[in-house]
Amino acid sequence: VQLQASGGGLVQVGGSLRLTCVISGRTFSSTTTGWFRQAPGKEREFVAAMRGSDRSTFYSRSTKGRFTISRDAAKNAVYVQMNSLKPEDTAVYYCAVGSRSLIQSSATTPAAYDFWGQGTLVTVSS
């Protein structure tokens, strides 16, 4: 399984970005795809996830209402649309795939994911 994340960049406060994760070697139906982020000196933090079996979505408290996770099965891609960006959203963003359909409490945990992309940097400037 390979994951390729892209779409990061520099954006001003209040701006938007859409991150893309292209996944090869795994179908969506039996997996959970998640986005995490890691700021310098901090632990990896859950951003959003989608369970492939029923397309349920999960968000962290800090991203709910501003971020939207979606997928395009035909392109084997998962996206996270990020709106109303804040300086505290600055981080390297990683996509990840878990080999099972995860419940919400597991989907927020990095250890539940088996495959990771290389990360894409998002910088929100004030």
Q: Provide the residue-wise pLDDT of the chain in tens; the chain has 126 residues.
A: 899 999 999 999 999 999 999 999 877 777 899 999 999 999 999 999 999 889 999 999 999 999 999 999 899 999 999 999 999 999 999 999 998 899 999 999 999 999 999 999 999 999
What value, to the nearest 5°, has the Cα angle with vertex 35 and ends 100 and 122? 165
Structure tokens at 84: 């109303």
- Return the closest-CA partner of residue 85 out of 18, 34, 21: 18
